[in-house]
Amino acid sequence: MLMKRVFVAMFLFVTLGLVATADDSKEMTPAERGKYNLTHRPYGFPLLNQKMFARLWTVWEPEWKSKVNPEDPDQIRRLSFERYGFSEAPYENGGAPMQFVSTPVGWVQTCMLCHGGRLPGSGESFIGAPNSELDMQTFYEDAVKLTGLKSPINMSFGMSRGRTNAFVFSIELMRRRNEDLSARATPMPVGEYKDADLDPIPWWHFKKKTALYVDAGVKGDFTRPIMQFTMGEPNGEKIKSWESDFKDIVAYLRTIEPPKYPWPVDAKLASEGKKVFEQNCAMCHGTYGPQGKYPNRVVPLKEVGTDPVRIEALTKEFRAYFNRTWFAKDAQAEENPVGYVAPPLDGVWASAPYFHNGSVPTVYGVLTQEARPRYFRRAGTIKDYDTRDLGLKVESLAAPASKELSGEARRRVIDTTLQGLGNDGHPFGFHLTEKQKRGVIEYLKTL
């Protein structure tokens, strides 16, 4: 019964989807079409609809339920956004947050679930800013409780707020398909991998990259590799039919510029910091301004010393399998990655927390081992920001979250002793004096 409803729904929404886009996408540049596709076209399954979203609170724990005024739909929406880490779309979106596209038959998850977040300070929703507020695990648990729908795959969506186990979904969804993306009866063996919470990469660096991902592990034409994020859609032929849409999405991603730092900057301190940066950081992170050069430098794990799980978690078998699939026809995954790429640092103020796993809340912490809290929780609201240390305002805790707390409350505490969340390494700024560090931080605000 339910399956039938879902099929009817999918049929409707595919037909309506095609009609709706035929007119709208004329006369646009590829980048404009790409932006339109990302923000208006569904690439996957409708998970729930506005009515269901408004009822999710009925499955919340008592401490959350007690905050709800059932007579006030706006208040319920605000609380729901706060609980899951959703934000209002900065474009007409049929009532859905920017993390979904609204279709006649329901809301379909978009790339902005993870790649659309609010900027600290203004709280403005920004396409391409990592969603540092997302708790995907709580959202899916609640949606399953409310709808009774169950994912066929048992896996963790993430163990800490603001991060997701994104590569593990990729592995689990891909090993259930053949190389041509048709369904496989038995999952492809891909070796022993590990769960690893990852911080999404800001999209404003995309234009500078010669390889994708934190290990610079995928080279070639990026169109098909980024389509692996649509594998929630069961029908492989349908995924393939979206390739031209994604060519335009790639063109759009290349146009995204970093958001400007919105608070005052000490120009004199910043120009001193620029010199320190050029001597100590630029060989890896590049130079900026009109003549700026970004070296796309991958730093071996032994040298950078940050958490190794992301490199070890993706097995060689999986990378080799990826290379045989449709996604890799014009691209190639590195089968033996050596370490992490040094990312560009323009707009770095807006992509806190730092490192590939978001294990360090501030840039000052990146430069100073003792300023990295072992357990921390975000403090205040989106308006709050640590302008001195450049990064998230957090509360440092003496202990990990108590096991008695709900999963939602536990995931707000970042425990850097957990697998994949380690906050060691990157010793490259430790030797700087306090004054030099403050200068570098001031300089980074200007990029």
Would you count residue 333 as binding ligand HEC (CB under 6 A)? no
Q: Which of 40, 77, 175, 356 binds ligand HEC (CB under 6 A)?
A: 356
Nearer to ligand HEC, 200 or 259 (CB): 200
d(CA 235, CA 6): 14
Stretch that binds ligand HEC, among 13-21, 29-37, 109-117, 406-414 (CB under 6 A): 109-117
Cβ atoms of residues 391 and 365 within 8 Å: yes
Q: How far is the CB of 206 from ligand HEC (least distance, A)?
A: 5
Dihedral, CA of residue 132, residue 136, residue 137 and residue 142, to nearest 10: 130
Alpha carbon 247 to its chain's center:
20
Q: Is 200 in the site for ligand HEC (CB under 6 A)?
A: yes
- Out of 57, 64, 100, 229, the only residue in the binding site for ligand HEC (CB under 6 A) is 229
Quote the tokens at residue 285.
């992170």
Please tell me whether residue 440 binds ligand HEC under the rule CB under 6 A. Answer: yes
Q: Closer to ligand HEC at the Cβ: 175 or 209?
A: 209
Q: Rule CB under 6 A: say whether 170 interacts with ligand HEC.
A: no
Is residue 231 within 8 A of residue 240, CB to CB? The reply is no
Asked whether position 212 contacts ligand HEC by CB under 6 A, the answer is yes
**Site map (CB under 6 A) of ligand HEC, residues 290-329, x = contact:** ---------x----x-x---x-------------------
CA-to-CA dists, residue 201 to 40, 63, 149, 277, angstroms: 22, 33, 30, 22
Rounded to whole angstroms, the Cα distance separating 115 from 444 reads 22
Compare residues 253 and 333 and give the one whose CB is closer to ligand HEC. Answer: 253
Which two tokens mark 193? 């991998």
Closer residue to ligand HEC in complex, CB, 101/111: 111
| Per-residue interface string for the shown chain with ligand HEC, residues 386-425, x marking contact by CB under 6 A | ----------------------------------------
Residue 42 CA to residue 109 CA, distance in Å, equals: 8
| Neighbour count for residue 436 (Cβ, 10 Å) | 19
Token representation of residue 301:
């794990």
Angle CA(86)–CA(377)–CA(383) in degrees, nearest 5?
55
Q: CB neighbours (10 Å) of residue 424?
A: 16
**Nearest by Cα to 47 from 112, 176, 140, 114:** 140
Does 366 participate in binding ligand HEC (rule CB under 6 A)?
A: yes
**Least spacing, CB of residue 277 vs ligand HEC, in Å:** 6
Which residue, 259 or 343, has its beta carbon nearer to ligand HEC? 343
Residue 351 makes contact with ligand HEC by CB under 6 A: yes
Q: How far is the CB of 302 from ligand HEC (least distance, A)?
A: 11
First to last CA, the chain: 55
Cβ closest to ligand HEC, residue 39 vs residue 230: 230
Residue 164 within binding range of ligand HEC, rule CB under 6 A: yes
What number of other Cβ atoms are within 10 A of residue 396's Cβ? Answer: 13
Please report, as a single letter, which amino acid is at residue 273: G
Which of 48, 143, 174, 348 binds ligand HEC (CB under 6 A)? It is: 348
Q: Which amino acid is at 184?
A: R
Q: Confirm or reject binding of residue 288 to ligand HEC (CB under 6 A).
A: no
Residue 271, token pair as written in the block: 């120009």
- Enumerate binding residues for ligand HEC (CB under 6 A): 43, 111, 113-115, 164, 166-167, 198, 200-201, 205-206, 209, 212-214, 226, 229-230, 249, 253, 280-281, 283-285, 299, 304, 306, 310, 340, 342-343, 345, 348, 351, 354-356, 363, 366-367, 426, 428-429, 440
